[in-house]
Amino acid sequence: MINMDIERVDQEKDLFIRSCLVKINGNTIVTPTRTIGTTLSNNFELQESKRFIGNKFKPFGEVYAKISLNDINEYILDDNKGQKFCSKLSARIGQLKQAGALPYILLSITDDSGNPFNQLLPQRAQKFIFDILWGTPGNSIIVTPILGVLTKPDDYGNMIEAFYKRQMDAIDRKNQPIMAIVPTSYSLIDPKLIERYWNCGVRIFGYDCANKKYGAYSYTIESLHNELSRLSRESEEEYILNGINSKYKYGKSTTSRINNLIGAGFGFDTYSPNHIQAKFIPSGTPTRYIFNDSDYGFLNIKELENVKNIDDIANSNALKTTNLSEIRDMNDYQLKKLCNAHDIEKTIKEIEEYSSYVKNNELLDYFASKEKIQGERAEIESLKHPQDPADEWYK
């Protein structure tokens, strides 16, 4: 028996916006929330976030690692290399767990050139991935790897059934739930595929946003929720949705606005960091921006001295200890670090209040007060939650 319970506690009328309690092996996550991300080489977000984890903010934790088929073969043949890789995963899982997050491993499988693998793994490589996911101490959720775009829904169905078989084989020792990655392509979100996921016990779904804003997938998200809601009503069980590789912000310069933070409006119970590198990197020194929680836009960090009511915006731990007049003399590394620290704190403090807004049916109204995201707010309002008024169990 998988030790997981999902309870929907509040939902805004006719919208995807909701709040859930997710209980996994003695840990309780309150949604909407965000995932604390770390890679094998960088745990900056974890270090900046852990001071805020507590009663109002209980996040998932994601250990992300990109691994090629050639890497897998090397780890299988060379115990020292394999042990080093697995030890790094285990260390990050332990750090997230110690900080109070509920950790999981997300593996992105590539070819030897670093491009998405775009096919199912060979049997030997699949077994190695299984052994990592089930064998890493503290890994609380088994997540199907990101493989790129597979050619047909049956490929995804075959993969989830292989994961389900392994889960059943290990159920007496390990009772972690499975998070299945849902294909990004609308044409691949087949009702039969989603039902295969559901029949394999999947109640946590990761949708790969592929570094695009939520609105770009609104019709796909609508279709996904429609299928999941139908299955949820029939079985009287809830599900949650995680935005994988969610785009942080959207737009340029003065038009830029937050994207990943507003995922709750599109039905995402949590969102995870974006690990997709930009294909085009502008030459020269980039302009660095900080998140403005008053309008959900962004401000050029070098122009903060000229901003009205700056004390309300620059009240993060990172900026309160910084003399704004010295920012112009900082190098790009210092500016990037300062912006990231500020943004992590500000977005956590925003999202930890979302469940109380949902309880009072006010999160959409709260989004309406943020000037820069009014286009996105309209998209959220246009998405109607599929539900049958005759069903009473979800109320």
pLDDT digits (tens, 9 = 90+) for 92-142: 999 999 999 999 999 999 998 889 999 999 999 999 999 999 999 999 999
User: Looking at residue 237, what is its pLDDT?
Assistant: 96
3-state per-residue secondary structure call for the chain: CCCEEEEEEEECCCCCCEEEEEEECCEEEECCEECEEEECCCCHHHHHHHHHCCCCCCCEEEEEEEEEHHHHHHHHHCHHHHHHHHHHHHHHHHHHHHHCCEEEEEEEEECCCCCECCCCCCHHHHHHHHHHHHHCCCCCEEECCECCCCCCHHHHHHHHHHHHHHHHHHCCCCCCCEEEEECCCHHHCCHHHHHHHHHCCCCEEEEECCCCCHHHHHHHHHHHHHHHHHHHHHHCCCCEEEEECCCCEECCHHHCEECHHHHHHHCCCEECCCCCCCCCCCCCCCCCEEEECCCCEEEEHHHHHHCCCHHHHCCCHHHHCCCHHHHHHCCHHHHHHHHHHHHHHHHHHHHCCHHHHHHCCCHHHHHHCCHHHHHHHHHHHHCCCCCCCCCCCCC
Query: Is residue 204 predicted with pLDDT exceeding 70?
Result: yes
Mean pLDDT of 342-366: 97
Where residue 386 falls among pLDDT bands split at 50, 70, 90?
low
Where residue 254 falls among pLDDT bands split at 50, 70, 90?
confident
Predicted structure pTM score: 0.94
Query: Is residue 243 predicted with pLDDT exceeding 90?
Result: yes
User: Looking at residue 309, what is its pLDDT?
Assistant: 81
The correct CATH number of 4-276+375-382 out of 1.10.357.10, 3.40.1190.20, 3.10.450.50, 3.20.20.70 is 3.20.20.70
Query: Is residue 298 predicted with pLDDT exceeding 70?
Result: yes
Mean pLDDT of 348-373: 97
Mean pLDDT of 244-267: 94
The residue extents of the domains of the chain are 4-276+375-382, 289-345
Mean pLDDT of 358-378: 97
* Residues above pLDDT 90, as percent of the chain: 81
Compute the C-alpha angle 237/242/244, nearest 5°.
150
User: Looking at residue 278, what is its pLDDT?
Assistant: 72
Which segment of 229-233, 255-259, 293-297, 309-313 scores lowest on mean pLDDT?
A: 309-313
User: Considering the chain, what is the average pLDDT of its residues?
Assistant: 92
User: Looking at residue 280, what is its pLDDT?
Assistant: 65
Where residue 213 falls among pLDDT bands split at 50, 70, 90?
very high
